[in-house]
Amino acid sequence: MACFDMHNHILFGIDDGASLEEISHSMVAEAAAQGITHLVCTPHFDHEYEQVKTDCMERLQVLQSQAPQSLTLLLGLEVYLTSKLPQLFDNERIWTLNNSRYMLIELPMRRFPEYTFDVLAELIKRGVTPIIAHPERNQQLREQPVLAQQLAELGCRFQLNSSSIVGRHGDGIQQIAQQFLKLGLYSCLGSDAHNESTRPIIMQEAKQVIDSDTFAYFMNQSEKIVRDEPIELCAYRAPIAKKQSLFAKLFKK
């Protein structure tokens, strides 16, 4: 079975992830050792790091040239949510996962901006399917899980951090990750690895705590994502809460 890491910061010298090329090579080797067959490289795009696609591809190609034959590197991006995302997409400043319809989007850690639904809906109108990165780490989603359900109803998908489900970010985040997992909101898994030490590649440990059927589901959905095929919300999800935002209702019309 192919094994996908859908979120990491393994490209060197481009964001707050791997700072040196040798660190990136070491992380690539560790990924292969943990059975990962596909690394979707997702550097930050935010107010501090505005990536240029050609620069990212050059680094990816350097790593791919020395990677084990069992490992394929693909290019994506982790885009920080702002009100300007539709315009950035229109101007080809931001891009999707392996040139698919799927875009990895990071919410602010402590806020749920009032423009969130509007911005994501505009991207959806443009043919983009947002994948919300590590929703378990957003304070507002932890306190109001119904917001995650409303995002799912809007058409978003969700990516689980392996570090969250194994407890690397504390008990609270691990517990909400477990709850979201039971709700079936997640479609894929990513390590969100930044380095070799404090935020390393974690896949085998996560595989041990996620049941085998769910893990296989994540890998199946990940393969569809990079192939630009339609994916569904997990069949195990709980019913969406009846309360619905006014904007979501208007968007459905």
Residue with tokens 């896949």: 203
Residue type, 85: L
Tens of pLDDT along the chain (253 residues)?
Answer: 899 999 999 999 999 999 999 999 999 999 999 999 999 999 999 989 999 999 999 999 999 999 999 999 999 999 999 999 999 999 999 999 999 999 999 999 999 999 999 999 999 999 999 999 999 999 999 988 889 888 998 999 999 999 999 999 999 999 999 999 988 889 999 999 999 999 999 999 999 999 999 999 999 999 999 999 999 864 434 434 454 554 455 445 4
State the DSSP string of 140-182: HHHH-THHHHHHHHHT-EEEEEHHHHTTTT-HHHHHHHHHHHH
Sequence spans of domains, the chain: 4-252
pTM for the predicted model, two decimal places: 0.91
Across the beta sheet with 157-161, the strand order is 44-45, 78-80, 102-106, 129-133, 157-161, 186-190
Three-class DSSP category at 231: coil
Q: What is the pLDDT of residues 153-175, one digit of tens each?
A: 899 999 999 999 999 999 999 99
Which superfamily does CATH assign the domain made up of 4-252 to?
Metal-dependent hydrolases (3.20.20.140)
